[in-house]
Structure 1
Amino acid sequence: MQTRRDFLQKLGASAAGLPLLPYLSEQAGAAPYDGPVLRVAIMGLGGYGTRVAEAMQACKMAKLVGVVSGTPAKIEAWKTKYGIPDKNCYSYENFDKIKDNPDIDAVYVITPNGLHREHVIRTAKAGKHAICEKPMAVNAKEGQEMVDACKKAGVKLLVGYRMHFEPHTVEIIRMRKAGEFGKIQFFQGLSGFKIGDPTQWRLNKKLAGGGSMMDIGVYSINGSRYMVGEDPIWVTAQETKTDPVKFKEGVDETITFQLGFPSGVTASCLSTYAFNYLDRFYLVGEKGFAELNPSTGYGPIRGRTHKGELNQPVVTHQTLQMDSMAGIILQGKEAPVPVDGEEGVKDLKIIDAIYEAARSGKKVEIRL
């Protein structure tokens, strides 16, 4: 079996011997952090939940203090490994009681896409801040309902856009904003891997909301926006399916899509579950270019521009993400690129439009 997380983990395997730089300001010589800490419960103790939990051990501003799972054996294992008290452990059935627990500030929802809406809304009603893995929901309507619920409850909703904090990515965004590439002209985003086990939830329409587009393709969608610095206004798309048994109705195998932006920039992107070695962003401007390859793997990200190789710090993405999100929630800080629920809804509107374009064969207008 191979999932996106297995694939991205292999891309980052060579980072194992590199120094951990979880909090850049401290590594730069700032005094050790001595301020409020975001106390987090993780909902969904699968592969990625485990990765986040491990990364959080190095956080300065965020701490893993609770778990939510439907598997008692996992709860017991996490209690022992991470020192989580019984009172901070919940099942999906009794989760709503978390509202009476003052020792948990936020819940990180890392369950299948089709469950995000329910779990985030329950989190909001319990009065806890919500961090939700991407894609935030299975369509824009559900995503907006999540945003509205969190606003009504007076809690924050953040989306797990770890790349919005990754140093190589942030440096290219800085260069683009500074005009170092000149007028942007073109973007290419390639995101894909060959998926394994046909029984996994990512190939279940109800749980995943689709196929590769709802898993790996969202990286190229979101990446096109932060690399170009604009939001798209139209899309065309084409779907290819070579294995209709594995990729049933509503579960996309491969989609190529083209985005148009207000300035005239175009983007050519690909999302696939059919083949490997696709993790590359390429940006072209009148004065230069930028490339990230790998562009979204767990690390190390590698980049170069017309000025040479990028040598930004190598970080554990989830450690930096969680510390940064703690700063957003507790101190009102801003992310280099937004990570709020509205950002998540924009990506979902684009995904909805991509599916419509692939189905109809027509150019579809995007209104964000």
Structure 2
Amino acid sequence: MEKISRRSFVNKFGVGVGASVVLTTLPSFLELPENQQEIYTGKKINIALCGLGNYAGLLAQGIQVSEYCTLAGIVTGTPSKAEKWKKQYNIPEKNIYNYQNFDEIINNKDIDLVYVVLPNGLHKEFVIRAAKAGKHVITEKPMAVTVKDCDEMIKACNDANVQLAMGYRLHYEPYHLEIKRLGQNKVFGQVRFIEASLGYKTYDTTSKAKVDKKDRNEWRLTKALGGGPLMDLGIYCIQSARYVLGEEPIAVTAQFGTVNDKDRFSETEESISWQMEFPSGAVANCNTSCGFYVDRFYASADEGFFEMSPALSYGPFVGRTSEKELKFPVINQQKNQLDGICKVLAENKKLPDHITGEEGKKDIKVINAIYKAAQEGKKIFL
């Protein structure tokens, strides 16, 4: 079997400045042995990407360098995209679908899994259709718009005897694995306070120009399609607090921020802040926005702290604790996530709970409570 050296490992997994990071900074659970390691040459999971937006491009790049999956098909409503992807990734014509004939994928034995990369409000429909076609499914987060939708998606996959995974890339990222370890193992004692914030400035406040029609119709600004910064960005803050503490919030309060562009944000919030209370007594203070930039995580424990900034975006991440800097390789996050999921599927094993639809539903439960708390101006108990 072909071998891979430690140097090859860094070159394969590192991107950008991360390729220069010294491998000895890996935590023990990611450390490679000094001798060479075998490359996987067994069954690979054949993936069809459903929706070919910007993020699908990153997923395709991850698949190209993955060990456990291949890009076998695409689903798109745009013929020009279909033609471009067909040529770029050598996709057979029989593995190219649109949203109308998508259900015919049931007859295609060359596709094992459908990765749904559509707007949030469309996840439910295509997860259920993929499940009924007998395909495993990965869906981008947030999973859906309501808890009821999540239940229907989970049931459809269970009924079809296929597995449903969430696209939680940070569950496979070294910095986030480390802050999860620091929090859940109480390395610095009980975590008491968390600050987690993620926001991007998506418009120019100095410009007097009106929002053009194309921008106004961007799905992230459309409530029915699951738009809004809480759904799109705030979910990372919720996730990080939950997996660092290893607890579920028991109550939330929330406040909508100032709307500086009422034309653009006529359907969704521009900014929102919220607070989560946990059974241990820990509290999390979180913020998200499409009107300002922030990308930060901070946890204060009884005997120290740990923090990252950038923290919740695509990185490269920078972190430290009250004792030392955190230094891990910059990895291809999509590759690690896809290999983590597809390895389990290729081995015909059950996906771990932290990456399943049940995990996705927990986030939606919290998101809906946050919106309710902001709308009603009172604490909502979960």
Same fold (TM over 0.5): yes
CA offset digits 1:231-283 (Å, max 9, x no partner): 1010000002232221113x11111000000010000000111111x111111
Residue aligning to 2:243 = 226
Q: Tell me whether 1:37 sits opposite 2:55 in the alignment.
A: no
**How far apart, CA to CA, are the structure 1 residues paired with 2:260 and 2:251?**
27
Superposition map of 1:122-271 within 5 A: 122-196=129-203, 197-207=215-225, 209-240=226-257, 241-249=259-267, 251-271=268-288
**How far apart, CA to CA, are the structure 1 residues paired with 2:69 and 2:319?**
29
**How far apart, CA to CA, are the structure 2 residues paired with 1:226 and 1:25?**
19
Residue aligning to 2:16 = 16
Q: Tell me whether 1:274 sits opposite 2:281 in the alignment.
A: no
**How far apart, CA to CA, are the structure 2 residues paired with 1:217 and 1:177?**
21
Residue aligning to 1:321 = 337
Q: Tell me whether 1:309 sits opposite 2:325 in the alignment.
A: yes
**How far apart, CA to CA, are the structure 2 residues paired with 1:174 and 1:224?**
13
Moved more, 230-239 or 179-188: 179-188
Work out the percentage of aligned pairs sharing the same amino acid.
45
CA offset digits 1:140-174 (Å, max 9, x no partner): 11111111111111111111100011001101212
8 Å CA contact 1:139–1:351 kept in 2: the answer is no
Give unmatched runs, 5+ long, in structure 1.
1-13
Provide the alpha-carbon RMSD of the alignment: 1.9
Q: Given the superposition, is the C-alpha separation of residues 122 and 246 from structure 1 closer, same or farther in structure 2, using an over 3 Å criterion?
A: same
SS of match in other structure, 2:61: helix
CA offset digits 1:159-210 (Å, max 9, x no partner): 1100011001101212333321201101111110112433311101122x24
**How far apart, CA to CA, are the structure 1 residues paired with 2:316 and 2:333?**
9
Deviation at 1:54, TM superposition (A): 1.3
Superposition map of 1:26-65 within 5 A: 29-65=36-72
SS of match in other structure, 1:18: helix
Superposition map of 1:72-83 within 5 A: 72-83=79-90
8 Å CA contact 1:45–1:68 kept in 2: the answer is yes
8 Å CA contact 1:20–1:315 kept in 2: the answer is no
8 Å CA contact 2:165–2:351 kept in 1: the answer is no
Q: Given the superposition, is the C-alpha separation of residues 36 and 15 from structure 1 closer, same or farther in structure 2, using an over 3 Å criterion?
A: closer
Residue aligning to 1:341 = 357
CA offset digits 1:16-51 (Å, max 9, x no partner): 243399xx9796542111222111000001100111
**How far apart, CA to CA, are the structure 2 residues paired with 1:177 and 1:228?**
6
**How far apart, CA to CA, are the structure 2 residues paired with 1:344 and 1:333?**
16
